[in-house]
């Protein structure tokens, strides 16, 4: 299992387009991927679960991947978040 802590810096947080990007990216991996923010946890491959966390700009969360491609999964999702989902 691989874990990393991340902070959302993009204006929209994990809502609408960024959440869809995140979920689509996570779904491309075999590993089980989970987002945990405070007491809430969500399956990172479920758009409803991710958006249900209500993570806005500045929110911190723990990203966990567990499976055969967990290291690559974490690296790709970390890059997506730190690049602000391609927003300017």
Q: What is the pLDDT of residue 86?
A: 83
β-bridge pairing 60-66 and 2-7:
antiparallel
Helices (H), the chain: 16-27, 47-52, 70-82
Q: What is the pLDDT of residue 39?
A: 95
CATH of the domain at 67: 3.30.1340.10
Range of the domain at 81: 2-86
Quote the CA–CA distance of 65 and 42 in Å, as a whole number: 12
Q: What is the pLDDT of residue 88?
A: 63
Residues belonging to the active site: 15
Tally of structural domains, the chain: 1
Q: Is 31 helix (H, G, I), strand (E, B) or coil?
A: coil
Threshold 0.85, pTM exceeds:
yes
């Amino acid at each position: 299992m691989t874990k990393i802590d991340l902070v959302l810096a993009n204006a929209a947080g994990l809502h609408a387009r960024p959440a869809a990007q995140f979920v689509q990216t996570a779904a491309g991996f075999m590993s089980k991927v989970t987002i945990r923010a405070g007491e809430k946890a969500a399956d990172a491959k479920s758009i409803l679960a991710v958006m249900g966390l209500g993570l806005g700009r500045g929110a911190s969360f723990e990203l966990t991947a567990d499976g055969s491609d967990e290291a690559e999964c974490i690296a790709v999702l970390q890059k997506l978040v730190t690049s602000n989902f391609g927003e300017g």
